[in-house]
Amino acid sequence: MIKLILDSIFFLDGGAMMGIVPRVLWSKFHEPDERGRIRLASRVVLFEEKTSGRLWLIESGMGNGWDKKNMDIYGIEKVDGGVSGQLTSMGLSPEDVTDIILTHLHFDHSAGLVSYCDDGKPELTFPSAKIHVQEKQLRWALNPSIRDALSYRKKDIEFLTANGQINLLDGDCHLSDSVSVTCFFGHTDAMQG
């Protein structure tokens, strides 16, 4: 089984996303809203490894730990209850997930790992899962440059490391008989895919 889950729709500044490409060009393909933001999607891949029965996610979605200010800034719209809601509609639960591969720790890929109760207390969204991430990426996420700091939710990452859920990787490696990751450098250091 392989499923693509649309967790959330959100918005980021078009100029920041397109870099040196002039707005007159990128806006032909990604029409910005009145605030100059473009519409993006947070997607998660779900698959079951047949040989072991392990249930894997690639990425975790946007999560629920957003205050009103950031909900407005990013225009976050959950789709069908996000990852947890869609797992439930498939007859699964977040507790069934055994492994999560994060390509990197930017919030649109990793904020779904931590859920927040009504009283603001954090809890593990996928309590049975090992989270596979590059050690260099984790170090960068905990000590980012000024330019990158807003891309990470440091409090979530610190909560995860304190709970022992993270399996730190050092470069390319096999995670099981049929699952492996390759480390590369993209829009942040030590990404993996």
CATH of the domain at 171: 3.60.15.10
Please give the DSSP secondary-structure letter assigned to residue 85.
Answer: H
**Single pTM value for the model:** 0.94
Question: Nearest CA to 161 among 102, 93, 90, 88?
Answer: 102
Distance CA 185, CA 182 (A): 10
Q: Which residue has the tokens 């055994």?
A: 98
Which pLDDT value is given to residue 186? 87
**What single letter denotes the amino acid at residue 110?**
S
Residue 92 scores a pLDDT above 90: yes
Residue 38 near residue 12 (C-beta atoms within 8 A): yes
Cβ-count burial 116-127 (b if 16+ within 10 Å, e if not): beeeeebebbbe
Write the pLDDT tens digit of every residue in 43-72: 999 999 999 999 999 999 999 999 999 999
Instruction: Please give the tally of structural domains in the chain.
Output: 1
Q: Cα(93)–Cα(126) distance, rounded to whole angstroms? A: 9
User: pLDDT class for 188, splitting at 50, 70, 90?
Assistant: confident
The confidence score (pLDDT) of residue 172 equals 98
Q: Own/partner pairs for 14-19, CB < 8 Å, 24+ apart? A: 14/38
CB 66 within 8 A of CB 74: yes
Alpha helices in 49-134 (DSSP H): 68-74, 82-89, 107-110
What's the domain range around 24? 2-192
